[in-house]
Structure 1
Amino acid sequence: MGTTVIGLVVIAIVVLYLIYIYNQLVSLRNQFKNGFAQIDVQLQRRHDLIPNLVEAAKAYLSHEKSTLTQVMEARNNAVSAQKDAARDPGDSTRIQRLGSAENLLTKALANFYAVAENYPELKANETIQQLMEELSSTENRVAFARQAYNDGVMNYNIFREKFPNNLIAGLFAFKETAQLQLESPDARQAPKVSF
């Protein structure tokens, strides 16, 4: 009878520990999904500002249509990747596609800023200045949100990979998740804007 009680206590402890692991995996997964939701809000703001900036600049950059087209194409690609990633922020492929699309958008914006440097009347336009400031501020918010998301993903992946957590994670299909990374070191730098 004593060994039966000890056996039941051991089984109860093991079951409780497995429940703890499962609940912790759920909690960590929800934390990184919340982190992605914060990125999503900031990216949407960024993507909404860009058409306004391009539209305001059209009058000044009429012969720079390829630059404006490149910015809008990169923006549209980033919007598509953002929507796709928002459907499942735990899908590594979608997050990597979003990172690539945002990297291309950052490069297109950097090219736009470089072209804008050659047009003093464009830099002097109050609407353009305000839009560029808002875009720069949004870039900083995106960076902070991305850091919080990546921290959440790191904590989730570390917990998921530890033994015996990895057994529970595999049993309940808790997949590894990718951090949101930029592909090139120059894209990690905020675009320079000067007036």
Structure 2
Amino acid sequence: MEWFFIALAVLVVIAIIWAIGQYNALVRLRNLVQESWRQIDVELQRRHDLIPNLVETVKGYASHERATLEEVTQARSIAAAPGSSPAEQAQQENVLTQALGRLFAVAEAYPDLKANQNFLQLQAELTNTEDRVAAGRRFYNANVRAMNTKIEVFPTSIIAGMFHFTREEYFETEDPAARQAPNVQF
């Protein structure tokens, strides 16, 4: 009978150690998802900071394109607002990307603007930032996938449920054209 209680105690200790390990793995994944989202947020903020300079540069050459300039400014304000979920942020960034595409289309009609060094530099920085956002999105979504998988698989799902770990949202774009950085040929 004594061996039975010893074996039972060993099994309980092993189960507790396993549960602690699974809980800690979930916490690490949650923190990794949050960190990777913060990196996307940094790149999006960089993007949002570049846009007013771009609008001002275009405004000097194409002041009568007021509707397009206001659309970009408004889309930037909405996208830069804090507190959005990844899904809401993705939708706001889609609108901003489409507005930027229209801004670059307007710029096509102004040869002097296309040759402006400041405009070219801003365009290059924006393209670089778009690439960094895309890389951050891939990293974030990979972490979300790992977290969601860990939460859903048995028996870790028991620990996740006990400690209220929830699925994370992917940062996805809905419009296939918005999945790419604006590509403008000058």
Instruction: Report the TM-score when normalising by structure 2.
Output: 0.97
Distance of 1:19 and 1:158 partners within structure 2: 18
| Residue 103 of structure 2: aligned partner | 112
Q: CA deviation at 1:189?
A: 2.1
Residue segments in structure 2 that go unaligned for 5+ positions in a row: none
Distance of 2:151 and 2:51 partners within structure 1: 38
Residue segments in structure 1 that go unaligned for 5+ positions in a row: 86-93
Distance of 1:50 and 1:190 partners within structure 2: 14
Query: Within 5 A, what are the aligned runs for 1:15-164?
Result: 15-80=16-81, 83-85=82-84, 94-164=85-155
Distance of 1:115 and 1:153 partners within structure 2: 38
Q: Does 1:174 align with 2:173?
A: no
Q: CA deviation at 1:128?
A: 0.7
Letter matched to residue 176 of structure 2: P
Distance of 2:122 and 2:11 partners within structure 1: 63
CA RMSD of aligned residues (A): 0.8
Q: Does 1:7 align with 2:8?
A: yes
Distance of 1:165 and 1:77 partners within structure 2: 38
Aligned residue pairs total 185
Do the aligned partners of 1:160 and 1:166 also contact (CA within 8 Å) in 2? yes
Instruction: Report the TM-score when normalising by structure 1.
Output: 0.93
Distance of 1:98 and 1:108 partners within structure 2: 15
How much identity, in percent, do the aligned residues show?
A: 46
Distance of 2:68 and 2:23 partners within structure 1: 50
